Structure 1
Amino acid sequence: MTDRVRCLVPFCRRTTKPGRNGVNVQWICGNHWKAVPLAQRRVWGRLRRQWRRYGPEAGVHFDARWWRVWDRLKRSAIEAAGGIG
């Protein structure tokens, strides 16, 4: 089972196949994704649409914004799974 990508929430046993980015990707399973607040998921959706539309010309600091939002999503999913949020 080494060629599978695990959900990034600790102690979650769900996995998915690697996809085109390889095994070193971060992934939130569907159960934990639903626990992330809707407002944060909408921000993520807007960023993804912006990337699909403009690609590398999406903005000067787009990468920093992308990873900052992703870190918030990870934190929210992990806190919700732990019963904190």
Structure 2
Amino acid sequence: MTRITCLVPFCRCTRKPTFDSDEEWICDRHYSAIPASLRREYDQAWHQAVKADQRAADGLEVPDSIYVRVTEAFRACKAAAIEAAGGI
């Protein structure tokens, strides 16, 4: 298995993959540079998606909007991390 690098350009931080090699990851140094409001939004969306996964495992129907919210929140975090690293 290959290691996963931080998605911020020129960052050399790496970690082991957890599930599949298509993961994207932001290292702790760059994650802390993201504004707190975006981090809070992503964390809330992620926890809601975890609960939705549990409901889906129990056989209950889960709306797709929950997973869209997590994806959009991560995209916003990704953009903010790259901008902060670039000094924009």
TM band (smaller chain): 0.7 to 0.9
- Rg larger in 1 or in 2? 2
- Please list every run of at least 4 consecutive aligned residues from structure 1 whose deviation after the TM superposition is greater than 4 angstroms: none
In the other structure, the counterpart of 2:27 is 29
In the other structure, the counterpart of 1:61 is 65
Counterparts of 1:60 and 1:24, CA distance in 2: 21
State the percentage of identical aligned residues: 38
- What 5-or-longer segments of structure 2 have no aligned partner? none
- What 5-or-longer segments of structure 1 have no aligned partner? none
1:9-38 deviation per Cα after TM superposition (whole angstroms, max 9, x unaligned)? 00000000011x222100000000000000
For this pair of structures, how many residues does the alignment match? 82
- The normalised TM-score by structure 1 is 0.86
Letter in 2 for 1:65: R
In the other structure, the counterpart of 1:81 is 85
Deviation at 1:58, TM superposition (A): 4.7
- The normalised TM-score by structure 2 is 0.83
